[in-house]
Amino acid sequence: MTIPVVFIHEGDQDYLKVAIRQARRRNSRVVLIGDKSNGSFGADEHGLVKQLRSQHFADTYQHMSHNHAEGALRGMMRWFVLLEWMERSHQDVAFYCDSDAMLYCDVSEFLATYPVGWAASLQIPQKPLWLASASGHFSAWTKDALRSFRAFLEGMYTTERGLSVLRTKWAWHMLTNTPGGVGDMTHLFLWSLGKPIINNAKVLQGAVFDHNINIPANYTEDEYRMNGAIKDIIVDGPGDYWLWRGGERIRVNGLHFQGQAKRLMEEYEG
C-alpha cells in the first residue's frame, strides 16, 4: 500500500519547494494542500486549504498562549484539513510533514514495520508534566485516530471539563512566566495518553525522526551531539545522513529545520 506524504501550507516560500522535492525522492505520492500561489511547486497532487477548512472549530477556539493567536489556531486547524482530505480521498492512512521538514525515507516501507493496531505516530519528548507536549511535524495517522483527535480537540473547547484543564495549564504559564501555553502540541499529548501511539522521537528500527535540528534533545535532553548551532550530521552520501548519540551512529529518517535553520535545507537534499 502506497501511503501519501501530505504537506499543508499557504504561501510560496522557497523552503516548501525544497521539502516537497526531497519527499518525492523516496515517496511516489506527495500531496500539497495549499493555495493558488504554490500550485506549481512540484507535488503529485495539489488542493486548496480554503476548500477544506471548517469554520466550526475557529468559532469555539479560545486563545491561551503567549504565541500569536493566528498561528496557534492554524496549527490546530491543519488536523481538520488533513482529516477532511483523507475522508474525501478515501485514504485510511497518511503521513503528514511540516513544510520545514526534510524526509529521507520511504514512509510506506517504514510504516510497514509498525506493530498491528497502531493509531498514530507522533514526537513525544520526555518533559516535566506542565511542559509535556507531542509534535506532529513528522506524523503518521490512521483516519480513525484523526477522527478521534478531532472529537477530542472540539471537546476541549466546548465542555467545562476540557476548558478547566486548559485554563489550569494557562494559569501556570502566566504564574511562572513560562513561555508557551496551550497549543496543538498540548492537545496532541493529552489525546495520546493511553492510546497505541508510536513515539517517533525514539530510535525505531535503527533510525530516528529529528525533533528540532537546532537542539541536542530528541526523546531525551542532550541526546545527540551538536556541531555549532545544529545537530552534528554525518553525511555518508546524498540523503544518507546519520546523527551521533553517545558513541553510536543513528540513521536519519527526517530532519526538522525549524526557525532560521530553514536556510540550510537545500544543503541537505539528496
Note down pLDDT in tens along the chain; length 270 residues: 899 999 999 999 999 999 999 999 999 999 999 999 999 999 999 999 988 767 789 999 999 999 999 999 999 999 999 999 999 999 999 999 999 999 999 999 999 999 999 999 999 999 998 899 999 999 999 999 999 999 999 999 999 999 999 999 999 999 999 999 999 999 999 999 999 999 999 999 999 999 999 999 999 999 999 999 999 999 999 999 999 999 999 999 999 999 999 999 999 999
Q: What was the pLDDT predicted at 27?
A: 98
- The cell for 94 is 497518511
* pTM of the predicted protein model: 0.96
- The cell for 69 is 493567536
Buried b (16+ CB within 10 A) or exposed e, 32-64: bbbbeebeebebeebbebeebbeeebeeebeeb
The phi, psi pair for 137, rounded to 5°, reads: -65, -30
| Domains of the chain (ranges, CATH numbers) | 5-200 (3.90.550)
Report the SS3 class of residue 53: coil
Q: What was the pLDDT predicted at 102?
A: 99
- The cell for 237 is 552520501
CA distances from 177 to 101, 162, 171, 173, 180 (A): 30, 23, 10, 6, 9
